[in-house]
Structure 1
């Protein structure tokens, strides 16, 4: 499996919602093939193995992902939940989740596609009904639409991750200051 999914949001439901990147601009889809969905489930750590996805599973997952994103956005903005998004997430959460098993070598969680998706939906339900709601923030990079949990001291974190958006924004601000300084010196 290809290990290039990113998990920086602080909750599997937030990371799942972030698999459609740059929603306001370029819209970069991470689930372009069924094996990319399989990889996300395993790389996220919610399961250790998952039955191979079909295109229908990708469609179901992206429907749940978009509903999760709408609910996260509503909660973050203090708006009412969308009824359709609630129904989609609750329907997914109502199904049996992935169940960990104890083996001789430790914990192992094998899941079907629906069990893995149910596990993600349950993470969304717990997050959006729990004490971490005030910590929800959208990345300060105008091109990024990741929502993350700000657990920094004083809740002053501005971007989803320093390695991605933070460095890019800081470097751009530095270059802009340098250009302004050079223009003023001339």
Structure 2
């Protein structure tokens, strides 16, 4: 997603150009403190719905706090695996494979808006882990991506956001030019003025 398409969902940014990294970016640094966009189950549901990665049924209900705990656990699992892979360390896939094994889905033939037939995947959501399985699948595809070197952390020293560099020259440095890129330009300008 380009800087122009930056979207907010409960405080989260969709700027990473990869759904699994946007999932990680639901924790951002604000004035030196990590701020979690998810404080309740509804925050997670809203993020999932706005991300377009998971269709969240209106009637979906789990025990209070269960979805939040599971989403945070998956987020930290993905964060740890991305960091391990970026550091060239062995990647312990057991926790992510747990989420992948929770999948309860089947293909369904449906008629699209234009009348053409297409295959879509229908998911069962009896547990929060099943609801989050599509995110785990995205994370697995990210970790197995042959161009994983394009996964980067923002270079701004006060930022902890991740992105997938899809630029033509693969020289993207900032989570967003509108956010950290602009802050870096302003800081450089002020330094030159001194």
TM-score normalised by structure 1 residue count: 0.81
CA contact (8 A) 1:46 1:116 kept: no
Structure 2 unaligned residues grouped into runs of 5+: 1-7, 115-119
Question: Taking structure 1 as reference, are residues 108 and 92 closer, same or farther at Cα in structure 2, changes over 3 Å only?
Answer: closer
CA distance in 2, matches of 1:110, 1:8: 26
Q: Cα deviations across residues 103-138 of structure 1 (Å, max 9, x unaligned)?
A: 664879676343331110111111101223121111
Partner of 1:169: 184
Partner of 2:135: 120
- State the 1:64 CA deviation: 0.9
3-state secondary structure, aligned to 2:13: coil
Richer in helix (by share)? 1
Aligned-residue Cα RMSD (Å) equals 2.6
CA contact (8 A) 2:54 2:134 kept: no
Task: Name whichever of 99-108 and 87-96 sits farther off.
Answer: 99-108
Partner of 1:16: 23
Structure 1 residue 159 corresponds to structure 2 residue 169:
no
CA distance in 2, matches of 1:74, 1:44: 26
CA contact (8 A) 2:105 2:121 kept: no
CA distance in 2, matches of 1:40, 1:158: 25
Structure 1 residue 93 corresponds to structure 2 residue 108:
no
- State the 1:52 CA deviation: 4.2
3-state secondary structure, aligned to 1:28: strand
CA contact (8 A) 1:98 1:118 kept: no
Structure 1 unaligned residues grouped into runs of 5+: 181-186
The alignment of Structure 1 onto Structure 2 pairs a total of residues equal to 175
CA distance in 1, matches of 2:31, 2:88: 20
Question: Taking structure 1 as reference, are residues 38 and 22 closer, same or farther at Cα in structure 2, changes over 3 Å only?
Answer: same
Question: Taking structure 1 as reference, are residues 110 and 155 closer, same or farther at Cα in structure 2, changes over 3 Å only?
Answer: same
Partner of 1:136: 151
CA contact (8 A) 1:64 1:121 kept: yes
